[in-house]
Structure 1
Amino acid sequence: MRATCAGAALALTVMAGMAQASCGPESGACEIQSGTYHIKLPETPGDDMPVVVFLHGFGGSGQAAISRDIMVEPLRARGYAVIAPNGVPRAEGRPASWTFYPGWPGRDETAFLKDVVADAADRFGTSADTVLLSGFSAGGFMVNYLACDAPDTFSAYAPVSGGFWRPHPVECNGPVRLLHTHGWADGTVPLEGRKLAGGRFQQGDIFAGLEIWRAANECSDEKPTGFGKTGNFMRRVWGNCADGGALEMALFPGGHTVPEGWADLALDWFEGLN
């Protein structure tokens, strides 16, 4: 009986360690050749666990993203592993971010994120196929550009408070499955975009980006096919599009943030896809 109890205690200890899934001697970051990432497994780990990959904003970190319980814990409670990769500075002395704009020098982020998902699958048994790529602000911009260039890379995309930069892409590959979430009062990435660095850079218009996505998905009309409300989220969906695509927008009455309730909203949408 004593041996059985000891064995059970050891198993619980191992499972608790798996739930955090820390790797790395100090920071807890998992290291691959092209970068690092943080991971938390679901409350009840299993085989082939679905994954949400979440990209931090400009100047952020995977550690900060994975520590945001209001976002991460609802995902884990629903059986998802959460992976938070680390961006890298685009120049020495600059904050960490993502190389998303076409022509910018830097890391091949699509290759990096694919390698992150593959490494996590090998180490922790997470799924390499059921993956929702999301991100906030600069991370949201990264999600849009990756989905535009290579929509088959991951299962679906859920950017928050990030779209395209001007000039907008002429076109994107499709079909794509994408849920865009944005704050009505966002002043950092306004819905209409804004100029930065004295006008050298200009954020794009979120609604112009949705028009690009409608074209990629071969939607037959600009008009949404449905409107709805979930909590504070005002939703509009375009369902008159090609097979394999899905496009929805969710606005909330706040600013530049990942709002409370977003995790369940995103997973409800993701799990409802055909």
Structure 2
Amino acid sequence: MTVYVPAGARHGERLPAILNLHGTQSTGSNQLHYSDMKPSADAGRYLVLAPSGVIPAASGFAWNVPGVGTPPHAARDDVAFLDQVIATAVTSLCADPKRVYGTGYSGGGRMISAFACHRPHRLAAIAPVAGLRAGRPDPLDPSRPDPQSCTPARPVPVLTFHGLQDWTNPFQGGGSEYWRYSVPAAQQRWATINNCASKARTVTLTPQISKITYAGCRHGAEVVLYTVADGGHTWPGTPVDNGNGTVTHEINANQLMWRFFQRYRVHPNQAPAAPPG
């Protein structure tokens, strides 16, 4: 596992941590580079935990996302693995167990979504990039999430980013078997899980960027989606061109998710702190 410790961290200091999961055919170290999270970690003084999947995929690995596809025989249980990653970070790296957050790109976004479904007590909030899911597609109607496949025992605040020109994980769904339902359907399902108000509020930030928010949620666990009209299968704000379409620099995913994360702690019966600033 690749770990980044922010500049100036003091020995024994309890720091927040972000679990940052790579996309399919990549690795933890590649994800740390692609997401360009080191500067944000230095500014926010948080650890970055970037483990690798175990299923071979091209020159990298894939995650064993529960309920999706047919993994190789005896593939690692990646929900249990990520649980252990967090436990190790808390005991050995002085991560603050109340301030562990999750993000991931593409297949890593699908994996962190699934982990939040199965281990909601481990994560104070999640922010998948180009990969938000809310359980497997319903076998009876793949255009919607199967409500029985994601039933967390506590609300999980969700922030996500998705390009409308993403042809790998299309915004409107379709494509691979694990990607049958749309991103708005995934957002709406998380809003239902979090007992949010039934209607979302949409704000146009720029001609290319819109912000869609479900508020009024249990324990303040908002569900927020940034859409990028010209965005591809990419990480907003990264300087790295991965060849998967336009990268927006009108917003920066790392800065926005860290601002969002700071509002939340793992306190099942407590509302989030007020936004900083």
- Render the CA deviation track for 1:154-211: whole Å, top value 9, x for unaligned: 1111111013353322243241111111112111111112223xxx654431111112
Aligned to 1:229: 205
Q: Would you say 1:178 and 2:158 are equivalent positions?
A: yes
Preserved CA contact (<8 Å) 1:189 1:203: no
Q: Which whole-Å CA distance do the structure 1 matches of 2:96 and 2:207 have between them?
A: 30
1:58-97 counterparts in 2 under 5 A? 58-68=24-34, 70-89=36-55, 95-97=60-62
Q: Deviations over 1:104-134 (max 9, x none)?
A: 5532222211211222233332223311111
Correspondence for 1:270 among 246, 257, 261 = 261
C-alpha contact (below 8 Å) 1:75/1:264 kept by paired residues: no
CA distance in 2 between counterparts of 1:72 and 1:169 reads: 36
C-alpha displacement of 1:271: 1.3
Q: Is 1:130 aligned with 2:121? A: no
Question: Which of residues 51, 65, 75 in structure 2 aligns to 1:100?
Answer: 65
Is the Cα–Cα contact under 8 Å of residues 71 and 262 in structure 1 kept in the other structure?
A: no
Equivalent AA in structure 1 for residue 41 of structure 2: L
Give, in whole Å, the separation in 2 of the partners of 1:128 and 1:182: 28
Q: Is the 8 A contact 2:211 2:224 kept in 1?
A: yes
Alpha carbons 1:225, 1:240 under 8 Å: kept? no
Q: What is the rounded CA distance, in whole Å, between the counterparts of 1:112 and 1:201 in structure 2?
A: 21
Partner of 1:18: none
Match of residue 111 from structure 1: 80
Partner of 1:141: 110
Query: What is the deviation of 1:226?
Result: 5.9
Contact kept? 1:98, 1:142, Cα under 8 Å: yes
Q: Does 1:219 align with 2:190?
A: no
Check conservation: 1:156, 1:270, Cα contact below 8 A.
yes
Larger Cα-atom Rg: 1
Q: 3-state DSSP class of the match of 2:103?
A: strand
Structure 1 residues 232 and 265: CA distance shift in structure 2, 3 A: farther
- TM-score of the pair, normalised by structure 1: 0.76
Scaled by the length of structure 2, what TM-score is found? 0.75
Q: Of residues 218, 227, 231 in structure 2, which corresponds to 1:242? A: 218
The offset of 1:145, in angstroms, is 1.5
> Secondary structure of the residue that 1:153 maps to in structure 2?
coil
Question: C-alpha distance in 1, partners of 2:175/2:166?
Answer: 14
Determine the structure 1 residue equivalent to 2:172. Answer: 192
The alignment of Structure 1 onto Structure 2 pairs a total of residues equal to 233
Secondary structure in 1 matching 2:98: strand
Residues 187-243 of structure 1 deviation map (CA, whole Å, 9 limit, x = unaligned): 1111112223xxx6544311111121121112231x224636389642121112222
Q: Which residue number in structure 2 is paired with residue 40 of structure 1?
A: 4
Please name the residue that 2:141 is paired with.
Answer: none
CA distance in 1, matches of 2:112, 2:208: 24
- Alpha-carbon separation, structure 2, partners of 1:39 and 1:161: 23
Larger relative helix fraction: 1
The one-letter code of the counterpart of 2:8 is T
* Paired position in structure 2 for 1:254: 231
Mark the runs of 5 or more structure 2 residues left unpaired by the alignment.
139-144, 238-251, 265-271, 273-277
| Residue 64 of structure 1: how far off its partner (Å) | 0.7
Q: Distance in 1 between matches of 2:66 and 2:259?
A: 30
- The root-mean-square deviation of aligned C-alpha atoms, in Å, is 2.5
Contact 2:169/2:175 (<8 A) preserved: no
- Say which is worse superposed, 209-218 or 148-157, in terms of deviation: 148-157
Specify the code of the residue in structure 2 equivalent to 1:97.
Answer: A
